[in-house]
Each structure stands twice: as C-alpha cells, then as structure tokens.
Amino acid sequence: MGWGTIISRRLKVFSLALFVYFDYKAVQKRVQWVSAVKKNSIWEKTHERNARRVLNLMIELEGLWVKMGQYLSTRADVLPEPYITVLKQLQDSLPPRPLEEVRGTIEKELGKPMSELFANFDNNPLATASIAQVHRATLEDGREVVVKIQHDGIKEIILEDLKNAKSLIEWIAWAEPQYDFNPMIDEWCKEAPKELDFNHEAENTRTVSRNLSQKTEDGAASVSSDVDVLIPEVIQSTERVLVLQYMDGIRLHDNDSLEAYGVDKKKLVEEITRAYAHQLYIDGFFNGDPHPGNFLVSKEPPHKPILLDFGLTKRISQSMRQALAKMFLSCAEGDQVALLSAFAEMGLKLRVDMPQQSMDIATIFFRQSTTADEAKENIKALNEQRERNTKALQEKMKLNKKEVKHFNPVDAFPGDAIIFMRVLNLLRGLSASLNVRIVYLDIMRPFAESTLLGSITRGPSTNSQWIYDSPVNSEVESKLRSLLLEIGSEKILGIQVCAYKDGKVIIDTAAGSLGKYDPRPVQPDSLFPVFSVTKGITAGMVHWLVDKGKLKYDETVADIWPEFGTNKKELIKVHHLLNHTAGLHNALADVAKTDPLFLCDWEETLRQMAKCTPETEPGSSQIYHYLSFGWLCGGLIEHASGKKFQEILEEAIVRPLQIDGELYIGIPPGVESRLAALTVDMEEIQMLSGLRPGPDVPSELLSGIAQMAAGVPALFNTLNIRRAIVPAANGHISARALARYYAALGASGSIPPPHSSSSKPPLGSHVHIPTLPTAAPKKKKKKGSAKKGGSTPDKGEYAQLRTSDADSEASASAGSTGGTMFTNSSGSILDAFMGVGEYSGMIHPNGKFGLGFRRYGKAGSMPTGFGHSGMGGSNGFCDPEHAFAIVVTVNRMSLGSVTRRVVRFVCEELGVPVPDEFSVDGEKGPDMVLNLATPPE
C-alpha cells in the first residue's frame, strides 16, 4: 500500500470523525432551546445521518473498519437505534472480490490448479467479509466444504487501519476523557493481526471443537454436558486459505427464516452463552469475536448454534481464569472484598478506593440483557449510573468538573480482561439484536463455580501444592505437615501454623486454599480473619500503655474516660475491663443483632458504650465480654493515649516487631488480595444442639448459635465489617505475625531475632498501609528538593495514623537488633498477663482469665501460659516457662478440633505440657463456638 493510499485513508477517517463530532456538539447546543418532543426528533435525525456517514466510509475503506462496524451493530443495549439499524448492513456480505483474485490466491496457496482441488467450485460467494471471502465447493472425494480466501493486500490495510484507529481513540480520549477506549484498542492492536494467518485459525478451530466436545476434569464435568453446539471440521489450511466442512445454516439476522423454522431465539442465545462460558471459565481458550456474522443456526431440529471464525482467539492462564470467575461470582453475590481481590489478581489497578462504584461498574458486564425495545431505557439508566459514579468520584477526590473529566480511576487494565469484557458485551449485543432477554448470572454461574471449586476440591492427595512450598524449619515441622496431610481437606480449607521455641522459628507452614471460591494457595503472608483472638492483641495495647505510665490497672476508668462515669459505672476499674468482670457482657449486643453494620461506626459504638449500664457489680462475676471487651478497651486506649486506636496498634506492636502488613484490626484498602475468606463446617457446628452454657458464658451467646455461626461468614466477609475497628472480633493476621507477638510477650516483651530469612515473602516486607497509584501529573523538581512522588487519594482514617519518620526508624531499629516492647521487662509483666502474684487480687477467683488474656494450664494448678482463642478455631498462646509460642489460623470455622489436634501434636513432640484447652478431655474456655463443646477427635 503506497503512501498516497495511506494518507488518503487517514484523512478520510479523521475528517469524518471531526465532522461527526462537531455535528453532535452543534446539536447539543441547539436542543437546549427546544421542547422535549422536538428534541427527540432532532436527536433521532442526527443519529441517523451520522450513522449513514459512518456506514458509507466503513464500506469504502473495508478492512478493520468493517469489523468495528459489525461490533458496534451488536450493541443495541448501549447505542442509539439508528446506528444499530444502519450498521447491521455490515453483517451482510460486502461487495465480492473478483473471481480471478480468488482463484489466484487458492492456486498459489494450495499449489494445485482449481480443477485438481475441487470437483465443483461455486463462483458466487456465500459471503464477503472484511478479511476474507467464502465460497462453497465439493472436494474430489465428494465432501461438501466451504473455502475461505483472504483478500489480496488486506494484511497491509488492517495494520494501517489499526494505527489510524489507535490515533482516533487517543483523540477521542483527549476531547472527551470519559470515553477513553485506549485499553481496548491496545489489546485489539495486539490480537487482531493473528486473524491474518489461517493456519492459526485452523488450529484454534480444532482446539475449541475438542474442548467443547469432551468431558472436563476438576469438577467441571457436570456443566460440560450443557454445551450443545456445532463446529465445522477443518479439512486443510494455509496462511491465506482455509477449507472447512460445509454446514447448512440460517444466519442470525435472517429473522424470517428463524421464524419459519421455529427457532427458539432465547434458547439459541442461551446455548451460545453456555458455549462461551465454557470457553472462558473451563478452557481458558475462547473466540474473542462473537458477532452475529460468526454464527449460523442448524436447520434441523433442535436447531443448534453453529460456531464459526476462530481467527481472533485468546488463551488465558489458569490464574486469570480463576480471577475472572471470582470477579463474576463476587458480582453475583455483591461481595466487594472478593471483587477487589479479583481485580488485584488479574492485574487491574485502581487509583481510588471506591468499592461500591467498582461493584456497580463490574456488575454492568453481567447484568441481565435487555431487548431492543428496551434499549433506550437501558441507555438512559447507564448514563444515569455513569453520572452518579462521576459525582461520587468528584466528591471523593475533591475535583472540579474539568478535573474529574480528565481523571482516570484505572491505573492499569490487563489485556486479558479487556477481551473478556468485549466478549461479554458482544454476547449482550447478540441477545439485544435478537430481541431476547438473557439472565447471564444464572447461565454462567455454574461454569464460574466449577473453575474455582474444581481446583479447591483437589485435596492433598491429588494436589502437590496443597501444602505451600516453603522450607522446613525443623523435624517437628516436617511431622506436622504429614499430620495436616492426614487430616486433609475434609476438615481443613486453609490453615497457617507458626511456632517459636527459645526465640527461634521452628514451624512456619501454610496449607490449603484461601476460600470456598478462592483456589489460590494459602501463603505465609495470607491474612486470616480471626475473632476473639483479636482480644489478645487489644489487651497487649492496654498493657503497653500501663508500661508507658499512661494508665494504671487499679485506676477508675471514668478518671481516664470521663463520659464513661455514668449509669453505675463509676466504680469500674481498668482491671475489671481486662478480667471480664465489668458486668457489661451484653452491652450493645441487641443493637449489633438488629443492625450489624452498627459495628462499623467506631465513634458511635464508643459513645453508646459510655452510656451502658452494668448487669452485675464490678468484680463480682466473670462473664465473658464477647463483643463489648473490644469497645471498652478501645475507648480506654484512645482516651489514655490521646491517639487513635490504629496508631497505638502500630506504635506498640506492629513497628517494634517489624510485622508491617500482616497484623490488622480493621484492614486498610489495598490488602484484599491477601485475605482468606471464611466458611463454616456445619457438621461440627450442629454438635452444639442441646448444649447449655456454663456460668461464665452469657446465655444469649448460645441461643440459635448454629444459625448464627452459619451467618457469621456472610457478615464478616463484607468489606464494611472487615474495614471496621472491632477490637474484640475483627483481626486480620498471618500466623507468623501473631506468633512473633506471643513469642515476645512470653519473653516479657523481649523482641526475638528477625523472623526466619527463608520465609517468603519476608515477614514485614509489606507496606502496612498501601497507597493507591497516583494520577497526579509529575512536576519538575526544584534543585535541592528531596520530595518524591505526587499526591495520593484520601485513604480515610488510615491516612493520619503515621507517627514521625524518626519514630518509625527507631522502632524498626529496635526490632532488628532485639530490643523490648516494654520498659518493665521483668517477670512481673508476665504476672500481669496471667493475673498472678501481685496481680492476683485483680482477677476473679478461679476465673479463666488473667488481665486480658485467657490463662492456659492444668485445672487446679497455677497457669503456665496465656493467649486467646477465637470463634471458629483460630488460636494463639505462649508458655513462658518453656519459651514456646504457637499460633494456628483457619478459615473453615468449626469447634476447633483441627486446632486442638495441631497444638496437642506440637506440644507433645516438643515435651511442652498440653494445656487443658487443647487436651482431649480438659475443660474448655468460654470463647463462642470453639470452646462451648468438645467434638470427638
């Protein structure tokens, strides 16, 4: 193609683009002054004349522009009706190429005269498309075939058109920033040239046909039989000629024939959708160009879809398939945590933290399709949603109207996801053009689920990666891994175990999957949701403030927190809060039940807690403060320190121990991809039926507990709850971070040497509060300026929690060289944790708690250790006498049988006494679910 042709094509494209753009801008100004009825008429005529201009140029230029027109003609769900009507003409044949050109290409590519190749060759083409022309023929052996012949010079035209399209898209993005299609055209530029090699298409056709005709493995066999389509057999191929089996069928736009043959159009589109769901989620290999011209319908009942043209076919990795399936299911269930996690897994990076808007946008791709008759209302609804999202973005980022138009909330958009979304849009357009309504969530869900469940159900016997491939730290760890394999996936979904002995890491093992619908392996840095385990962290913060002289154990709470001194709470002291003897065990329980999202309002929970009235005299009864413990201690921490709860958490625990990014009470934005998701072992939970709580457990706790336990994951998997500060029940930790914490506590606060260097990624290597990518323009630095980077989006409360760089460096230095968490590093701090020695008068006689920690040991004897277990089975504790600390985190909530078995095994291997809490017959503590019953083990 000469320079003259190149320049001519480019001028025609941009001239028309400008002409259409200014036409719309002029009409936009004009309709402001006319009535609504006249306005609609003006817009209708504007759409029609511009659609015809676009059609005429596309037909003239052919090549890529015809393909683009075919794509646009299927988008009846978003484009004005005149464009659909006009551009549908591109689904019909284009003007045919000369027969001499066709014959010449065939003979050159196949190396034989036409007379030797075919017994019969129909000179009239069946169809002429943008890249090739198709003729019907009969082979010498009598087989009926179609011959696809590539147009002469089309390769050069397509490559040039891609450049022009890229330039045009960039101009549109500059002129109208809200319409930035650069990611899509970039992916198209990468994939489209593959269509120009028919050998590539032939192999793709064979692969898709093979995939859709065979039973699939890994749990997907149940859905593979739902795919019932036809694909032509490949007879022969070269780069520019493709010979396929002939299949007699009806074109999708031939509505009269579809009606005459009695084709069920809704069933037809559902079948096509199932075929694509299989390709996308099960095979990871799919046709990226499902426009109406690439389908036929068999004339014989049951009128199966015939899939054609596999030139633009995309292969995606298993991890991307899983991420796309997870994105689909998160939209189906409204799970914002899973959606943000899926985004991170697929490489989609956002510049702003707006989870609800992200969910709204993602759900658009999977929404129920509309009929062509409803297209206008659909366009209106989408425009209204776009306006709402833009307004929310403007408020979030504090941008003016001009700035918000030029702000792109997406920092990186993976090419695989772009083709995936393009396919979904084309399928939606298909149903709109056939005027049928399809519920994509119902059709595609089984395929998405099978992708995730198929990997998860492969337990340790068939999955060599079930135990994460990390170095073995000791002989006991090697034996523990064998035990985990023995227990298997029947009881374990995901688990982490980390243990310290004599200040060194002896166990750091991760196994299983991150969730019921998340087959990614648990890693050492995965974050597990834990419940009352969090109380041990909160208690440590209180002790840290006592050590710093900010409060005293025997101090009246109202002296520190003035608002608290009402409604008979004047005599409650700090040690009452820590020992569960404040009499506020049911405080705010009713509010939390009727409005679970009340848990998310930190300031309001503290205000309401200050107004509560105790049910028993302070110190008279030890009754487990299952939720109120966190708010009571949290309010105390903030009033005693004058700082935010999260700031003290970092200052007292996270930075000194160098466990950044692996211990949270309420997560910040940006860590969702490392979160484990909760589920419930209902078989164990049902064992609670008929049990009665002991005197130290509130009766309200056991009422309907099986039903409540089943609902806990649904609540605590939500993003609102996960981001909330609920210091009694909302920790997100790795076992290795919490084990390091307990190893330090067990040594009176002495910080152990750095965590095992063989643990990957290294403990503490994550940024504790991730920042989103900035879109601020880079400014020229002044000479001598040391300032780096631009502004970052508001991260909410987390943005204000950092102390000075000097404090941070000092803390990091202390962690790396040993150091201590407490000024008082004598044994008396251990006595305070367990409520013994001089602190024995501050605890309830024979109670299960010291000051903030569950006391572990043998019944009737002095406690030998302390820690905290949590609902569902996660646990952390230490035995100071034996310099031993262990943490177990799980995401399949149960009565804790797996945790007890693991702890018992490790203790017995090391010769450490097994506390009653973990023995087979010993008395269990008061934590909800985990300790209310002892199932058979």
663 strand-pairing partners: 733
CA 229 remoteness from chain centre: 32
- From CA 915, how far away is CA 550, in angstroms rounded? 34
278-306 burial code (b ≥16 CB/10 A, e <16): bbbbbbbbbbbbbbbbbbbbbeeeebbbb
CA 128 remoteness from chain centre: 43
Catalytic one among 283, 289, 309, 508?
289
- Identity (one letter) of the amino acid at 349? K
Residues in CB range of 690: below 8 A, 6 or more apart: none
Torsion (CA) 874, 879, 882, 885 in degrees, nearest 10: 30
The full DSSP string for 381-422 is HHHHHHHHHHHHHHHHHT--HHHHHT--SEEE--HHHHHHHH
| 3-state class (DSSP) for residue 888 | strand
* Assigned token pair, 573: 């002291």
Nearest to 239, CA basis, from 138, 91, 131: 131
DSSP 72: H
- From CA 681, how far away is CA 893, in angstroms rounded? 6
* Assigned token pair, 462: 């068939």
- From CA 819, how far away is CA 281, in angstroms rounded? 51
Neighbours of 388 (CB within 10 A): 12
- From CA 291, how far away is CA 76, in angstroms rounded? 12
C-alpha to C-alpha distances, 239 to 156, 195, 294, 646, nearest whole angstrom: 15, 10, 20, 63
Q: Which residue has the tokens 């044949």?
A: 93
CB–CB of 420/365 below 8 Å? no
* Assigned token pair, 454: 């198929």
| 3-state class (DSSP) for residue 914 | coil
761 upstream amide cis, omega within 30 of 0: yes
- From CA 678, how far away is CA 707, in angstroms rounded? 15
- Identity (one letter) of the amino acid at 499? A
Q: Where are the beta strands (DSSP E) in 140-203?
A: 144-150
CB–CB of 219/209 below 8 Å? no
Neighbours of 366 (CB within 10 A): 19
Largest CA distance in the chain: 107
- Identity (one letter) of the amino acid at 111? G
Neighbours of 617 (CB within 10 A): 14
* Assigned token pair, 551: 């409060």
127 strand-pairing partners: 134
- From CA 887, how far away is CA 879, in angstroms rounded? 12
C-alpha to C-alpha distances, 485 to 460, 461, 492, 497, 871, nearest whole angstrom: 6, 8, 10, 14, 24
Residues in CB range of 751: below 8 A, 6 or more apart: 656, 657, 744, 814, 815, 818, 819, 820, 821
289 carries an active-site annotation:
yes
* Assigned token pair, 507: 């166990």
Q: What are phi and psi of 363, to 5 degrees?
A: -65, -25
C-alpha to C-alpha distances, 130 to 59, 158, 200, nearest whole angstrom: 9, 9, 18
- From CA 262, how far away is CA 822, in angstroms rounded? 81
- From CA 79, how far away is CA 168, in angstroms rounded? 19
CB–CB of 273/427 below 8 Å? yes
Catalytically active residues are 289
